[in-house]
A and B are shown apart, each in its own frame.
Chain A
């Protein structure tokens, strides 16, 4: 393997460790506000992973939608529901050990599965821009799902407004 390959792997490992550390912080931090900020770090790490996979448009969408909209929404919800959660004794419930055991078994199973299955890899290089082809695909092949998901988003936002108002 040449020098470029080693550097690629090192960059991937760095981003992966940072993403997983931010994810662990999201799950384990006692203060929910700090957990939400760690969640923002995880979103940025996942965007970097998309960039490594040469999905630039998706990386930008990830930052715009997740960091720009969802994280802000979560931070607002944390600030609107404060007070009670500051004095709680523990942030995880009494069955956490069972959950951790089951999830550990699940992770080992998934890991063995990932290593065992002979994935079909074509390894074709991406030549040129993916974004124009993505726009064409969204408005031709995937036109119906595209329109349905926009109607669904509208209905969801109206529903959220009706549920959350006084």
Chain B
């Protein structure tokens, strides 16, 4: 199966998904939607890591650095989601909004 699909396909898919996620985190007003954009970007990076492991590794069984790296990225994404959503809920409690344009206490 893997010899029938070029590596470029996976890399292009990851680039497109990364750009979609980047747009979401730059353009959305809702803080939770910004976090969702970041999750999309992390997924796109993981696709790249796994694709390079599968296509580039001289021995995919013995050298699983790409898989291990992707596992750590998933773990850190879980940590990031937990902290980010806790911050959003704390801000919602004190300011009654999750609109990032109104959360400007530290803006010059």
Contact = CB atoms under 8 A, between A and B. Distances in A.
Interface of A: 1, 4-6, 8-9, 12, 16, 19-20, 23-24, 26-27, 32, 35-36, 39, 42-43, 46, 49-50, 52-55, 57-58, 61-62, 65-66, 69-70, 73-74, 76-78, 80-81, 84-85, 88, 90-93, 95-96, 99-100, 103-104, 106-107, 110-111, 114-115, 119-128, 130, 133-134, 137-138, 142, 145, 149, 152-153, 156-157, 159-161, 163-164, 166
B23 A27 contact: yes
Given A99-B23, A111-B12, A46 B43 contact: yes
A103 to B, nearest CB: 5
B32 A32 contact: yes
Contact of A81 (B11, B51, B89): B89
Nearest to B5: A12
Contact of A123 (B12, B55, B99): B55
B13 interface: yes
Summarize A's interface: helix, strand, loop or mixed. Answer: helix
Interface of B: 1-5, 7-13, 15-24, 26-30, 32-33, 35-37, 39-40, 43, 46-47, 50-51, 53-62, 64, 67-68, 70-72, 74-79, 81-83, 85-90, 92-93, 96-101
Contacts, number: 253
Given A65-B74, A77-B88, A120-B56, A20 B23 contact: no
Contacts of A142: 68
Contacts of A32: 30, 32-33
B64 A133 contact: yes
B24 A134 contact: no
Contacts of A137: 64, 68
